[in-house]
Amino acid sequence: MMVVTSLGDAMHFVRQEILEPADGSAGYLLDHSYGYARRYDGYAASAALYEGRAALEYHPIYATGEEVDLAFYEARLILQDDFGRRIPPSEYAESAEEGSLGRDIDTVTLKMGLATLVARPDLRLKIPMSARALADSRWRLTLEEGLAAGPYLGERLILEIDEPSAMALHEAVRRFMAEMQCQGVAFALGCFGSGQTNFQTLRRFHFDLASIDPNFVREIESDADNQVVVGALISVAQQFDMFTVAPGVSSPEEASCLMGLGIDCMTGRFFGPPLARL
């Protein structure tokens, strides 16, 4: 352990051991005086949300073809602790599913995303949501007010619902989609192929995009099974008139393999880091 003998040493210690730990333990605060790492929880995420330590980051999504061109952006909410460190979503995912935290995250994400669309009329943005948001009057009001804030704003909005969430409340989701598609809003099915797909039910939806489960994308160039799965998912998506998106692309080998399989769009570290502002 570093010996702290001056203010400069103390600040170096904070930066190296707390803000930027050498062991890469994102999501933990290392307390050397007690010798343990404190995990985040739902309370930490709630505090960050309600104290304004929340922001959007924007992930560019590129369309494949003869040239790879920017198609639209995906907005993701990030929460930070008191030290300015990102709180990993996995640390509060359970709390978000079981309580009001998830609905609050949906509402704040939507509000920030709609504000971005109002400020940038040249932009198209994909914003995540869950089926639980449909029963939240604040989320619905936020959406209604946002769509009324600018002409044709709905035509630049893509709402993404993960496959398990969509299938669990498929009737409510289907009715909501029909209502919003009349206003030009597009819909993406997230985590496509995650194991919850009911193709009889899927036929009743009218999703515009399907985002492949990222577990099938990782090192796909060396995994014959995943190549077969992704190829089949692309075929199913085409049958249902959905464009396909491959998330989490991290290497040129993955990108090349996915393009060979016929993927329509890609995003991930290979295309650069997410943007803090647009």
The answer to whether residues 30 and 50 belong to one domain is no
The answer to whether residues 247 and 171 belong to one domain is yes
pLDDT of residue 112: 97
The answer to whether residues 161 and 259 belong to one domain is yes
Q: Find out whether 40 and 245 touch, Cβ atoms under 8 Å.
A: no
Residue 52 confidence (pLDDT) above 70: yes
pLDDT of residue 97: 80
Q: What percent of the chain stands above pLDDT 70?
A: 85
Q: What does 73-91 look like in DSSP terms, one character per residue?
A: EEEEEEEB-TTSPBPPGGG
The answer to whether residues 64 and 160 belong to one domain is yes
Residue 92 confidence (pLDDT) above 60: yes
pLDDT in tens, 138-193: 999 999 999 999 889 999 999 999 998 888 888 999 999 999 999 999 999 999 99
Mean pLDDT of 85-102: 84
In a domain, 276, yes or no: no
Mean pLDDT of 17-31: 41
pLDDT in tens, 246-266: 999 999 999 999 999 999 999
Beta-carbon-side half-sphere exposure of residue 116 (alpha carbons within 13 Å): 26
pLDDT in tens, 224-251: 999 999 999 999 999 999 999 999 999 9
pLDDT of residue 198: 72
Backbone angles phi, psi at 158, to 5 degrees: -120, 120
The CATH code of the domain that includes 172 is: 3.20.20.450
Residue 205 confidence (pLDDT) above 80: yes
Residues 6 or more apart from 154 whose CB is under 8 A from it?
A: 147, 180, 183, 184, 185
Residue span of the structural domain in which 22 resides? 1-39
Mean pLDDT of 207-223: 96
- Confidence tier at 111 by pLDDT (50, 70, 90): very high
The answer to whether residues 128 and 227 belong to one domain is yes
Return the DSSP state at 53: -
The answer to whether residues 66 and 134 belong to one domain is yes
The answer to whether residues 117 and 30 belong to one domain is no
pLDDT of residue 76: 96
The answer to whether residues 90 and 13 belong to one domain is no
pLDDT of residue 162: 92
Residues 6 or more apart from 162 whose CB is under 8 A from it?
A: 128, 130, 189, 190, 191, 194
Name the range with the highest mean pLDDT among 8-12, 16-20, 141-145: 141-145
